[in-house]
């Protein structure tokens, strides 16, 4: 159980760094989605199920959708424009 906590926390930090350094915006947003999901799991570990449901619905759900829509709107997905 303890080890799983550490794994999740390290994964969280790696996700945060990955979202920072990744070159493509699409990848950034997907990593951020993973980050939110892991955060929801951590909140289950911390005995906060209300937050876990909310974070799963908001962070991994709606916020990511909004990011994707923005990316679509600025054509980053379609043209595969690499961020310079």
Partner 1 sequence: MDYKSDPNKIGKWERFFKWVNGEDSIDSVWEKEMRSKITGKRKKRRKTIEDTIERINSYSKKIYIILSVFITVVYIGILLYTVYELPEHGNPLNPANNEVSQRYIEHGVEETGALNIVSAMILDYRAFDTFGETVVLFTAVICVAILLRRTDEDKTDLEQDSFKSDRGDILKFAARLVFPIVVLYGIYVIINGHISPGGGFAGGTIIGAGLILYSAAFGDEKIKSILNYKSITVTTVSCLLIYFFSKGYSFFTGGNHIESVIPKGTPGNILSGGLILPLNICVGIVVACTMYGFYSYFTKGDI
Partner 2 sequence: MIKLLTINHFEAAAVILFGIGFMNMLLQDNLIKKFIGLNIMDTAIYLYLVSYGYIEGHMAPIAEAGKAALAEEFINPVPSGLVLTGIVVSVSVTAFSLALIQRLYKKYGTLSFDEVLRKLRSGEANTYDSDS
Which of 1, 3, 50, 78 is close enough to bind partner 2 by CB under 8 A? 50
User: What number of residues does the chain have?
Assistant: 84
Using CB atoms within 10 A of its CB, is residue 40 exposed (0-12), middle (13-18) or buried (19+)?
Answer: buried
Residue 82 is given by DSSP the state: P
CA 67, CA 72: separation in Å to the nearest integer? Answer: 9
Among 3, 47, 79, 82, binds partner 2 (CB under 8 A): 47
Q: Applying CB under 8 A, which residues contact partner 2? A: 5-6, 9, 12-13, 16-17, 19-20, 25, 28-29, 32, 35-36, 39, 42-43, 46-51, 54-55, 58-59, 62-63, 66-67, 69-71, 73-74, 76, 83-84
């Amino acid at each position: 159980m303890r080890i799983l906590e550490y794994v999740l926390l390290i994964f969280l930090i790696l996700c945060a760094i990955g979202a920072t350094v990744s070159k493509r915006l699409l990848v950034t947003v997907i990593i951020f989605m993973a980050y939110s999901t892991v955060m929801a799991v951590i909140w289950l570990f911390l005995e906060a199920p209300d937050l876990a449901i909310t974070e799963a619905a908001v962070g991994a759900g709606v916020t990511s959708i909004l990011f994707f829509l923005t990316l679509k709107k600025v054509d980053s997905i379609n043209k595969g424009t690499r961020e310079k």
